[in-house]
Structure 1
Amino acid sequence: MAEMNEEGMGGGRVAAEELRLLIERAERLEEEKKGIADDIKDVMSEAKSRGYDAKAIRKIMQIRKKKKEEYQEEEAILETYMHALGML
């Protein structure tokens, strides 16, 4: 295996301290992301325990991220396909 030095792939210099700090920052963000994912799971569990459907809540969240026109277009296409398949 090649020995690590301060030469990068493009012939530029890699500052070991800067690289270490970037990696540590990314690792902290990964930890935060995991914590947030766990928090979301807790919220969904709470919703389920109160009688709500977690799948429906997730779908609503997905829809709310989209622009109204984008959502309406997707729904129209879905409805067209469902009619073609005799599902509606």
Structure 2
Amino acid sequence: MLDEADRNAGHDDTPDSTASAVGGIAADRLRSIIERVERLEEERKALASDIKDIFAEAKSAGFDVKVIRQIIRIRKQEPADVEEQETLLDIYRRALGM
């Protein structure tokens, strides 16, 4: 069984230790993870702003933004799924006399 000296061997408990742990949590690792997520959230915010600008550009060029969004959503789907949805949509329209 390890005594106190063996358990603490190689551990630096000073506040400015790069491997400091508080309550069993590696504080530097936690800080790094949080900062990385924060940076990515900022990038996502910037990308969302860029996308909004592109849709504004499309609208000012006379394109229907709602239809563009629909096309983007369709392009993300598998072709077989798109075909099935279009077939069902056609069947439902005919059933309703549209």
TM-score (norm 2): 0.70
Structure 1 or 2: more strand by fraction:
2
- Structure 2 CA distance, aligned partners of 1:53 and 1:19? 45
- Can you give the 5+ residue segments of structure 1 that lack an aligned partner in the other structure? 7-12
1:68-87 matched pairs, under 5 angstroms? 68-84=79-95, 86=96
Alpha carbon RMSD of aligned pairs, Å? 1.5
The 3-state SS of whatever aligns with 1:32 is helix
What stretches of structure 2 of length at least 5 have no aligned partner? 1-21
1:56 aligns with 2:39: no
What percent of counterpart residues are identical?
A: 48
Per-residue Cα deviation, 1:13-67 (whole angstroms, up to 9, x for no partner): 3211111110110011011001000000000000100111111111111111111
Q: Deviating runs (4+, > 4 A) in structure 1?
A: none
CA distance in 2, matches of 1:69, 1:32: 34
